Every structure is written in C-alpha cells, then in structure tokens.
Amino acid sequence: MAPSPKVWRTTEIIQTASHYLSEKGVENARLNAERIIGKVLDIDRVALYLNFDRPLQAAELKEIKSLLARRGNGEPLQYILKKTEFMSLEFVVDSSVLIPRPETELLVETVLEKCRGKFAGQRISILDIGTGSGCIAISLAHYLPECHVTAVDVSASALATAQVNAQQLQADTRVAFAKLDILSSTITESFQERFDVIVSNPPYVSKDEYLNLPLEVKNFEPVIALCDQGDGLLYYRRLAATVPDSLTSNGMLAVEIGAAQASAVQGILAAVFQRVECLQDLNGLDRVIVAEDVHANFEHRLQCGC
C-alpha cells in the first residue's frame, strides 16, 4: 500500500512557511507567513493560533504554497492579500496602483488640519491629482464630511481600483473620478470650478534613483506612479504652472515630496506662492509641502484673463 499523504497542520505550515520566506530574504518572514496562511484559511492571526492543530485540506495547502512562492519571488504582500491599511481604512490594492505608504498619511493629516482651520463650516472642494488607489481622496472624504473630492489619474485601471475603494468605503457619493493627464492638459481645461485644495502625491522618483529602488518596488509597482523619467521634479513644475488658475482666492496646494527634494520644490512653488511650508514625517524627513497665497502677479493675470 502506498503511504498516506502527510497531513499538514496550521502550526507546522506556519513554521515551514516562515523558514521558506526567511531563506528568500523576506523581512518579517513569520508575519508574512501568518498573513498569507490567514488569507487562505479566512481567519485572523489570533484565530490562526487558536486553531494551531487544524488539519489543512489539499486545496488550502496548494493555494498557500502558490501565494508563498509569489511572496518568495518578491511580490509585495499587499498585492498578494489584495488589501492594505491607510488612515485606519482598508483599501483594495493591485498592480495597477502604488501601494499606499504610512508616510503619505502625513499629507492627508496636514490637509485635514488645514481645512478644519481655513474652511470651518464651509463646503470644501478638493482636487486629488494622481489618485492611484484613491487612498488620499477617499480618506479626506471619510474624515472631512463637508468636503467634495474630485480625483483624477492618467491610468484607467487605477481609476477602476479607486472606484471600487470608494464604493466599499461608502465614499462614492462625495468622490468623483475622472481620467486626466496633468502633463498634457491643464486643470481649467477639464474643470470649470476652482478648488479650495489641490493635493497630490506625484511621481517624484528620478530616472537615476529608480534604477536603485528595491526589486520589490521596481519589479512590481507601476513605474508611472513612481518615476517621472527625469529629475524627479517634473510634476512639481507642472503643478506650479497650472494650479494657480484653478485655486480659490483662499486656496492651497499640498504635495508629498522625496526626502531630499524640499529645497528644490520649495523654490519651484515660491515663484507662485507667497507662503511655502515644509513638514517632516515621523522619521524626521522632509515629506510634505503646503503652498498658500498665490502671488499678486498671478492673481492679476487671472482677473484680467491674461
């Protein structure tokens, strides 16, 4: 008689999967293994250990092995799980969108704080440029009930993912999506209204920096959302050129920047705005720039139609 196939139990597969991912160089290998196994078994980490002696079905074991192989090959855990957390909300993510980073929460928190001060009790109109998964736009709509957000992206597939997130997070009535290439179109060409806030986490990785990114980022996340194929400042120059025409008189621009870009971006925006402020993230790195008060010469140009 042929020997019976080995019966794998939860505790064994956790140990084996952790060892496998560790050998593949995956950081936090055990946590990654737990999350993958939990996804297949549809239970959280606590339940995983409460069911440590649970035997695995052949189909479950096959799926676990498949997902572990993807993670061992460098694919980000968030894409494998098809979700990630941002601003305490759960977002669907796939390879069409950049994975939301914790650092970007500072951008959202800054806009929330500024809006509650500048526009208290008012309806607030916000434009999110390069929305990706919609994490910025939807988070603002979730935590700022008095706002309406227009979210744009050049990628149709990214917009489709963002719309799924808006529906699942019940923000679809206050977030509108549109396809827009900010490099080839101005904001005013696409929208008649002016916005109180324009926010963006643009592609700010330079062409040279992109070559040195971790393989997990470079091989799996969309290059269009990361790299401007130039010096990393292309989108800030474009925003400086097109944003003044589209802001209300009391409006502001808020952008995320790379850790070494503060001086350059501040210089670009200071040519347009009278007040340019840089904020640091929890690691002490320059991360967000807020620009307010468009220079008088720009306001005059708008008023006279120049």
The answer to whether residue 17 scores a pLDDT higher than 50 is yes
Beta bridge partners of 86: 89
User: What token pair was written down for 92?
Assistant: 């669907």
Q: Report d(CA 12, CA 30) in Å as an integer.
A: 12
Burial of residue 95, with CB atoms counted within 10 A of its CB: 0-12 exposed, 13-18 middle, 19 or more buried: middle
Pairwise CA distance, residues 46 & 228, whole Å: 42
Residue 89: which pLDDT band, with cuts at 50, 70 and 90? very high
- Label residue 43 exposed, middle or buried (CB < 10 Å: 0-12, 13-18, 19+): middle
Token pair 């008649």 in the structure block, residue: 192
Q: State the Cα–Cα distance between residues 174 and 264, nearest whole angstrom.
A: 34
What pLDDT sits at residue 2? 54
Going by pLDDT thresholds of 50, 70 and 90, the confidence category of residue 275 is very high
283 has pLDDT over 50: yes
The pLDDT, as a whole number, for residue 83 is: 97
Q: How far apart are CA 35 and CA 20, in angstroms?
A: 14
Q: Which amino acid is at 49?
A: Y
Collapse the DSSP code of 238 into the 3-class scheme (helix H, G, I; strand E, B; otherwise coil) and give the result. helix
Summary mean pLDDT of the chain? 93
DSSP-derived secondary structure letter, 245: G
Give the tokens for residue 36: 């993958």
Exposure b/e, 140-165, CB count within 10 A at least 16 = b: bbbbbeebbbbbbbbbeebbebbbbb
Q: Are 119 and 145 in contact (CB under 8 A)?
A: no
Rounded-to-integer distance, Cα 132 and Cα 263, Å: 26
**Helix%, strand%, coil% for the chain, nearest 5:** 45, 20, 35
Token pair in block for residue 238: 């474009």
Task: Tell me: pLDDT of 304 over 50.
Answer: no
What is the pLDDT at residue 4? 62
Q: 3-state class of 130 per DSSP?
A: coil
Tokens of 19: 């060892």
Work out the average pLDDT over 184-193. 91
Note the Cα 26 to chain centre separation in Å: 22
φ and ψ of 280, to 5 deg? -105, 150
Q: Can you read off the two tokens belonging to residue 234? A: 């292309």
Three-state DSSP class for residue 275? strand
Average pLDDT on 67-90 reads 98
